[in-house]
Amino acid sequence: MELTKRERRRLRLEKLRQGSHEAQKEHEQRAEQQKQFQQQPKPSKSKYYIIASVIGAIILAVSAYSVYSINKPGPYDNFAKCLSEKGAVMYGAMGWCKYTQGQKAMFGKSFKYINYHEFNELPGISKTPTWVINGAWYENVQSFEKLAALTECRV
The verdict on 91 and 27 lying in the same domain is no
If asked whether residues 49 and 87 sit together in one domain, one would say no
Mean model confidence pLDDT for the chain: 91
Q: What confidence tier does 5 reach under pLDDT thresholds 50, 70, 90? A: confident
pLDDT digit string (tens) for 132-149?
999 999 999 999 999 999
Does residue 93 sit in the same domain as residue 56? no
Query: Is the CB of residue 128 less than 8 Å from the CB of residue 99?
Result: yes
Q: Residue 17: what pLDDT?
A: 85
**Are 22 and 88 part of one and the same domain?**
no
Give the CATH number of the domain where residue 142 resides: 3.40.30.10
How many structural domains does the chain have? 3
Task: Please indicate, yes or no, whether the overall pTM of this predicted structure exceeds 0.85.
Answer: no
Regarding whether 126 and 88 lie in a shared domain, the answer is yes
pLDDT in tens, 65-109: 988 888 888 889 999 999 999 999 999 999 999 999 999 999 999
**87 and 147 both lie in a single domain:** yes
- The domain in which residue 116 lies consists of 77-151
Quick: pLDDT tens for 43-67: 678 888 999 999 999 999 999 998 8
- Evaluate if residue 131 carries a pLDDT over 70: yes
